[in-house]
Amino acid sequence: MNKNPINKIAVIGAGSWGTAIAMTLSKKGLRTVLWGHNESHIQTLQKDRENKKYLNGFPFPDSLKLEVDLKEAATGADVVCMVIPSHVYRSIFRKLVPYLKTGSYVVSAVKGIENKSLMTMTQVMRDTLGSALTAKNLVLSVLSGPSFAQEVVMDLPTLITIGCDELHQAQHLQNVFCTERFRVYAAEDMIGIEISAALKNVVAIATGICDGLQFGLNSRAALITRGLAEITRMGVAMGANPATFSGLSGLGDLILTCTGDLSRNRNVGLKLGEGQNLPHILDSMEMVAEGVKTTESAQKLALQLQVEMPILEQVYKILYQDKQCSAAVTDLLTRELKPE
């Protein structure tokens, strides 16, 4: 049942969220290694003992180990937590596979859909692993919910969801990740959690555009509500449980990302609504706004599944076809009237 004691955890990805997860686990007393692909960045983290680039002012626990060697980081880990941007997820996970310990848990904490394959991150892992998934008795999982990294390292109360194929597996990980200020709920709807996590970033861009255009709180509330309807439609079409979308990984994360000042995707939308162009916005950002790439893959997926997603469609046209934000709003509001 994969309930062996947890002796080592490897967090793969030294951005803000990976750092926050590693610090949380390390402060709990778990032996934790944080890996990053950029050797100079890791050397800086080792010297400073904090991630000044992404989480300035929050010192690492003394026990947290930094590592640039992937084999060294992953070998012997009972839990491997993937916190890598979706566009490089497959390539890094492929390098990681030979070092995965038999019977270990592999957790995705990434919110995106792969552009070429249109797969979620756990689907990418299954595809990459092939027969090794069963041969190594691995358990795949997804961690998601309303959780800005900065608030997590500030030790502010945060609630999040962890999902596996089977509930008892999620409950085991629930105990691993849970602290007094980081409460974890267990679930068994991985596809629902992942679709919520990915598509809420698209809705956050739309909400940011709305705020940038100064359309007011009525518009924001409507976008969040109708955005949730779109996310639910796609998730159900992919076999998700509709109840997932009203939970922490669905509505909870959607509200946070659409309204929080720390939301990268909302800030992209804000700047678009204010008239800035996308290349300039992205060049000025230190961290990845996953919603930009997710919009492209989600639009393809919606067409493939024949799911109606008008907000997604308009965000796609703004990002990839240079459509004016005001014209997109007009087109949304003047669609054919229909029952809710």
Q: Nearest to residue 43, comparing CAs of 56, 34, 32?
A: 34
Tell me: the pLDDT tens digits for 225-234? 999 999 999 9
Average pLDDT, the chain: 96
Split at pLDDT 50, 70, 90, the class of 224 is very high
pLDDT of 1 over the 50 cut = no
pLDDT of 2 over the 70 cut = no
Tell me: the pLDDT tens digits for 133-159? 999 999 999 999 999 999 999 999 999
Domain map (residue ranges) of the chain: 9-188, 192-333
What confidence score (pLDDT) does residue 206 get? 97
Does 9-188 match 192-333 in CATH topology? no
Residue 78 DSSP symbol: S
pLDDT of 185 over the 50 cut = yes
Tell me: the pLDDT tens digits for 89-116? 999 999 999 999 999 999 999 999 999 9
pLDDT of 87 over the 60 cut = yes
Distance of alpha carbon 145 from alpha carbon 149, whole angstroms: 11
Considering the candidates 8, 27, 200, 271, report the single residue annotated as catalytic: 200
- CA dihedral for 183, 187, 191, 195, sign (positive or negative): negative
Mean local confidence (pLDDT), 311-323: 97
Q: Domain spanning 192-333: which CATH class is it, in words?
A: mainly alpha
Mean local confidence (pLDDT), 267-291: 91
Q: Nearest to residue 161, comparing CAs of 115, 202, 111?
A: 111
Q: How many residues does the chain have?
A: 340
What confidence score (pLDDT) does residue 3 get? 61
323 annotated active-site: no
What confidence score (pLDDT) does residue 286 get? 78
Q: Nearest to residue 230, comparing CAs of 200, 256, 260, 207?
A: 200
Split at pLDDT 50, 70, 90, the class of 12 is very high
Distance of alpha carbon 281 from alpha carbon 220, whole angstroms: 22
Q: Which pTM was predicted?
A: 0.95
Give 318-323's long-range contacts (Cβ < 8 A, gap of 24+).
Answer: 318/209, 318/272, 319/205, 319/278, 319/292, 319/295, 320/295, 320/296
pLDDT of 272 over the 90 cut = yes
Point out the least confidently predicted range of 25-34, 61-70, 155-164, 281-290: 281-290
Residues 6+ apart with CB under 8 A from 12: 18, 35, 70, 73, 74, 80, 81, 82, 83, 84, 92, 96
User: What CATH superfamily classification does 9-188 receive?
Assistant: NAD(P)-binding Rossmann-like Domain (3.40.50.720)
What confidence score (pLDDT) does residue 285 get? 87
Q: Nearest to residue 229, comparing CAs of 252, 203, 205?
A: 203
